[in-house]
């Protein structure tokens, strides 16, 4: 893929496109695992969710939501770039 792009675009053009790209978030799997561990521990101990645990879970889930939004934006950006490179009409 890189060779194809290199043949179509000049390095300067490619750097400009890449610089405008949204950031790709870090992996969210560890965050998901952390949320699942909290929930599993609460169920195992047959405890109700305290306000503190609720807030902790909500905060982690919001971070995952943000990361997913960033990933979606990045995918849309690169899809549009690819479309414009291969079909510049």
Which tens digit of pLDDT belongs to each residue from 60-84?
999 999 999 999 999 999 888 888 8
Show me where the domains of the chain are located: 2-86
Which tens digit of pLDDT belongs to each residue from 4-63?
655 666 778 878 888 888 888 888 899 999 999 988 988 888 778 888 888 999 999 999
Residue 1 has pLDDT above 80, yes or no: no
Q: Model pTM?
A: 0.68
How far are the Cα atoms of 44, 49, 55, 66, 68 from residue 39, in angstroms, in the given order? 9, 8, 12, 21, 21
Cα 88 versus chain centre, distance: 28
């Amino acid at each position: 893929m890189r060779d194809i792009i290199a043949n179509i675009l000049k390095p300067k053009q490619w750097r400009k496109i890449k610089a405008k790209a949204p950031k790709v978030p870090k992996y969210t799997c560890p965050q998901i695992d952390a949320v699942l561990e909290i929930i599993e521990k609460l169920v195992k101990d047959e405890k109700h969710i305290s306000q503190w645990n609720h807030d902790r879970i909500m905060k982690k889930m919001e971070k995952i939501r943000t990361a997913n939004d960033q990933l979606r934006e990045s995918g849309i950006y690169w899809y549009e770039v690819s479309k414009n490179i291969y079909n510049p009409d």
